[in-house]
Amino acid sequence: MPAVAIVGRNEAKSDAAVADLRQSGAKAISVVADVTDKSAVAAMVERTMPAKFGRDSDILVNNAGINIRKPPHTLDIAEWDSVIRTNLTSAFLCSQAGISPP
């Protein structure tokens, strides 16, 4: 039986996804986390593996992403940093935190 942790900032969307998965027979939980924050990612990993599911993860899907739709020359540095943190840093943090040493 598959076990899935849905992680995101929007609790209602994550809970809806979990409900759908559970109807399909999967073991699933919803976790609210800011994946751009290293300590939040560590807490998310602690909550989801292995204590909750009884084993380490097999797959990590890094799909957090944002886009600020405006001409590049009007983008300020805070907006740029937000895109980089969400689209790149989050994938690095989650991948690094999700790896168990052999």
Tell me which H or E stretch contains 84.
helix 77-84
As a whole number, the mean pLDDT across the chain is 89
**Which residue, among 57, 51, 50, has the nearest Cα to 2 in the 3D structure?**
57
The mean pLDDT value for 80-102 works out to 89
| Predicted confidence (pLDDT) per residue in 25-34, tens digit | 998 999 999 9
Confidence band of 2 (pLDDT split at 50, 70, 90): confident
* Plot region of 17 (φ>0 → left; ψ -120 to 50 → alpha; else → beta): alpha
The mean pLDDT value for 67-91 works out to 96
- Which pLDDT value is given to residue 52? 61
Distance CA 71, CA 59 (A): 36
- Six token digits for residue 61: 């899907």
Structure-model confidence comparison of residues 54 and 39, the more confident one? 39
- Which pLDDT value is given to residue 20? 96
